Amino acid sequence: MLKVLLTVAAIALVVWVVVRLLDRRGPGAVGGAPRRRQPPPRVTGPDDDPEFLRELERRRRREQRDGSD
């Protein structure tokens, strides 16, 4: 009974190691170098967004133009 238990434990260990290695390689990585995981996207503030800054400048100019009448 002990031999069976040790055999099952050894097989489980080998399967676990193989699954971990395949998981780290990522999908579709067959025989190639392991792919590095992409860092999560950074959250940027509105002052880092050029489109936001352009729109802010347009609003400021429009308000300045409309207010000077």
Q: Which residue has the tokens 């992409």?
A: 38
Domain span at residue 58 reads 1-67
Question: How many structural domains is the chain composed of?
Answer: 1
pLDDT at 22: 84
pLDDT at 4: 95
Give the DSSP H or E segment for 55.
helix 50-67
pLDDT at 32: 58
pLDDT at 17: 95
Spans of the chain below 70 pLDDT: 26-35, 68-69
pLDDT at 26: 66
Q: What is the spatial distance between Cα 25 and Cα 8, in angstroms, rounded to a whole number?
A: 26
Q: What is the DSSP letter of 28?
A: T
pLDDT at 34: 60
Query: pTM for this structure?
Result: 0.38
